[in-house]
Every structure is written in structure tokens, then in C-alpha cells.
């Protein structure tokens, strides 16, 4: 398995593009993206469990109910959420794609991100559709990735190549996410493409299984968005025998998918609004997988711990505090805690109690931009990893006037 260039355009038969159509006031920022597959693809998606859902999720769910799709359109800058005519706009976006490409409107995934509750006009999208279609190319990954960004400061993209029965396959993805990151069943907006041949049933099984260990294990601010969606399109153009069962080929596909999703998870967490550090919490020695996950997520979600990491303060008591309220199946007198970065590792807690350590060394370790929080519960064989970021002054500044 190799990391390659190209993102969603790396797999055979996929092209993408992105433009500024006028939704965003800043003309230097793209706000409309399109991804197209040369052939109809099997499709799978997961969606936010927030009861308030963006209209595009409802339309997408209906469109891919048959397990197929061929295009993705997404606007940024203004979320199509809590609008009286939201369904109408989402369906019209699909119709516009159909008119420009010849693809059936029912084979279009539609997504939207930005400010919630603001009316979204279809006019900029309609007037920009010809230009958007013209922008689509095999080199359009970067433009598409930029067009789905809101408060993101960095493009999030990756692609990998892998082999199934001697046939080279590729899978790529782009994502947006910086604030309102605390997913449940899906997260932010993530678009994944692959030329691997896999049935819609197995594709759905792969995605549903993967997100429990990846996207559901990241948190920036504890807010589950209304627009969160992860979609995968697989057009089969690599030419491998279609994966229709849980076999060796399916396992290989799962590993490739996981490589893409973990990379995107880390990218999203590292680019949290106002963030200066990526936090990765690794829990081992748990009595059950659910306990390992709960402990890791509780630590990564702790505002006090996140603030301590911003200040490079080895306040390990906040780690134990989070474990204590986030789990029930833990013997706190067995817990070990360490902090680690490229500058080394410092052990700060043994068997639930503090141990002598160098505050100077700890500060040096925690000043790095990637921090590992290592926890051993010493009570079993299960493990889990969660990702997050520090909590800074800038997070409040960004969200204090986000709408205005």
C-alpha cells in the first residue's frame, strides 16, 4: 500500500473541480465543488445523528437508496440547513448537475456547509454551473478540496494505491472540518472515491465499520454538526473481481479505506478552529473495547485537558478526571499516564498516583505541535485511539462572530 498524489482524482475514471460562484463574499475563496465518475458507481454514506439535519442529507439519502451514484456537488459558505425551501434547493442542485453532465439527477450526492439558518439562493449555483463543469478535470482535486472549506486553514486530501488479486486499485479522499466537530455516525464532510469493484452492500459495511474507529473518535469542540456526511463512490474501473463477501480482498480494501480515513481524521483534528496542536490519545489495557473508546474520547473532549495542552502544562490530573467521569469499568488505582512528542516521553502517573518527573522536560515535550497522551488502564487487552486538538483563545474569537 502506497501513498500517492491526486486525492479523489487518483482512482481511474474520477474527475473534480471547484470554483467561486458567489455564495461567499470573498471572491478569492472557492465555494462550489463537483466530483464526477466516468461510470455509475456503487455508493455508501453515513450521516449525522443530530435531529436537525441539512436538507442535502435527506436528498442524498433518497438518491443513493438504490446503492448507486455518479456525481457529488457541494457548496460552502452557506449551509442549506433550517431553510423552508431546503429540499427544493438541494434537489435543484442535483438537477443542475444533471443538465450540465447528462448524469441522472437521482445519481447525485449533494452536500452543503457553512452558516446554518441563512437563506441559500440557488441563483449563484445556477449561474456558475457551466463554469463549474468546465473546471472539472483529472487534476481538479485541489480545487474541489478548497471549494468545500469553511473555517479550515488547510486542504485535507490523500490517496493510496493497493493491490487486490494482483490488480492495482486506488482510493482517495478529501474532507472539510474545523469547527462543530464531535461526530456521531459520521463527521463533517468527507468525499471518498475508489476504482475498486465492490458491491454497494459491502461498501456500506466497510464504511459503517470503519467510522466507529476513525471519524467517531475525533472531537474539536463537542458540537455534532447538522450537515455531517461521509460518502464513498466505487466505480469498479480498476478491473478487479467485484468484492461481494468478507474475504481477503475485502480485508485489503478495509485497510486501504482505513489508511485514508485515519489520515483525514488527523488532518481535521490538527486543523481544529484556533488549534495549535494535534492531540492523539491512545488507550490500552482496557477490559472492553467500549471502555477503551470511552476513555480515549473523554480525555480528548476534556476542555480542561485541551486548555492544559495549549499551555504545555503536564496537568495529568485532568486526564484521570476525564477517565473518571467518562467511563465506569476502570480501576483508577491501576492507571498509568504518559505524554509523548518528537522531543521524547515523560511518565507522569503510575497506578493512579503522581510520580516525580521533570517539569522542564514535560514542558519541552508539550510545546511540540503533535502530542500523544498515552494511557494504560492495566485491566485487559482492548485498545483505542482518539484525536483532538488544544483549546485556544482563537477558538472563541473565531466563533464569537462567525455569522456576522
26, 45, 51: which is closest to 111 by C-alpha? 45
How far does Cα 64 stand from its chain's mean position? 20
SS3 of the chain: helix, strand, coil, percent, to 5? 35, 30, 35
Helices (H) and strands (E) in the chain, counts: 11, 15
The Cα–Cα gap between 175 and 190 comes to 4
The Cα–Cα gap between 343 and 359 comes to 14
How far does Cα 56 stand from its chain's mean position? 18
- Dihedral of CA atoms 200, 246, 186, 9 in degrees, nearest 10, equals -60
**Whether 337 contacts 349, CB under 8 Å:** yes
Write down the catalytic residue from 46, 60, 81, 187: 187
Give helix 248-270 / helix 200-211 axis angle, nearest 10°.
40
Give helix 289-301 / helix 317-326 axis angle, nearest 10°.
130
Q: Is 187 a catalytic residue?
A: yes
**Angle, alpha carbons 245-250-251 (nearest 5°):** 130
Between β-strands 370-376 and 32-47, what pairing exists: parallel, antiparallel or unpaired?
Answer: unpaired
The Cα–Cα gap between 256 and 262 comes to 10
Exposure of 403 in the CB half-sphere (CA atoms within 13 A): 6
The Cα–Cα gap between 25 and 149 comes to 14
**Whether 98 contacts 5, CB under 8 Å:** no
CB atoms within 10 A of CB 314: 24
Active site residues: 187
Amino acid at each position: 500500500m502506497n501513498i500517492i498524489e491526486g486525492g479523489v482524482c487518483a482512482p481511474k475514471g474520477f474527475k473534480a473541480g471547484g470554483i467561486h460562484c458567489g455564495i461567499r463574499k470573498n471572491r478569492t475563496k472557492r465555494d462550489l465543488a463537483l466530483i464526477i465518475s466516468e461510470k455509475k458507481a456503487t455508493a455508501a454514506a453515513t450521516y449525522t445523528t443530530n435531529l436537525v439535519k441539512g436538507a442535502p442529507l435527506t436528498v442524498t439519502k433518497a438518491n443513493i437508496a438504490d446503492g448507486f451514484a455518479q456525481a457529488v456537488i457541494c457548496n460552502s459558505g452557506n449551509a442549506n440547513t433550517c431553510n423552508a425551501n431546503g429540499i427544493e434547493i438541494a434537489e435543484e442542485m442535483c438537477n443542475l448537475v444533471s443538465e450540465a453532465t447528462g448524469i441522472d439527477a437521482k445519481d447525485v450526492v449533494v452536500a452543503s456547509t457553512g452558516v446554518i439558518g441563512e437563506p441559500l439562493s440557488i441563483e449563484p449555483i445556477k449561474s456558475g454551473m457551466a463554469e463549474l463543469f468546465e473546471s472539472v478535470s483529472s487534476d481538479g482535486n485541489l480545487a474541489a478540496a478548497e471549494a468545500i472549506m469553511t473555517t479550515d486553514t488547510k486542504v485535507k486530501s490523500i490517496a493510496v494505491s493497493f493491490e487486490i488479486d494482483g490488480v492495482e486499485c486506488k482510493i482517495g479522499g478529501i474532507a472539510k472540518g474545523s469547527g462543530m466537530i464531535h461526530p456521531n455516525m459520521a463527521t463533517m464532510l468527507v468525499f471518498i472515491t475508489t476504482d475498486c469493484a465492490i458491491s454497494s452492500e459491502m461498501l456500506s459495511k466497510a464504511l459503517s465499520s470503519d467510522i466507529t474507529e476513525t471519524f467517531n473518535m475525533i472531537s474539536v469542540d463537542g458540537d455534532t454538526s447538522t450537515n455531517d456526511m461521509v460518502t464513498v463512490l466505487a466505480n469498479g474501473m480498476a478491473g478487479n473481481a467485484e468484492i461481494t463477501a468478507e474475504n481477503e480482498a475485502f480485508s485489503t480494501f478495509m485497510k486501504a479505506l482505513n489508511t485514508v480515513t485515519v489520515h483525514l481524521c488527523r488532518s481535521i483534528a490538527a486543523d481544529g478552529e484556533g488549534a495549535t496542536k494535534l492531540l492523539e490519545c491512545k488507550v490500552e489495557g482496557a477490559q472492553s473495547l467500549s471502555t477503551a473508546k470511552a476513555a480515549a474520547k473523554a480525555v480528548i473532549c476534556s476542555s480542561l485537558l485541551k486548555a492544559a495542552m495549549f499551555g504545555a502544562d503536564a496537568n495529568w490530573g485532568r486526564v484521570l478526571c476525564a477517565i473518571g467521569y467518562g467511563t465506569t469499568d476502570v480501576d483508577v488505582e491501576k492507571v498509568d499516564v504518559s505524554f509523548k512528542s518528537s522531543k521524547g516521553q515523560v511518565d507522569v502517573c503510575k497506578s493512579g498516583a503522581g510520580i516525580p518527573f521533570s517539569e522542564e522536560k514535560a514542558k519541552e515535550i508539550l510545546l511540540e505541535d503533535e502530542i500523544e497522551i498515552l494511557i494504560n488502564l492495566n485491566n485487559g487487552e482492548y485498545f483505542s485511539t482518539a484525536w483532538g486538538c488544544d483549546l485556544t483563545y482563537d477558538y472563541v474569537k473565531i466563533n464569537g462572530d462567525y455569522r456576522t
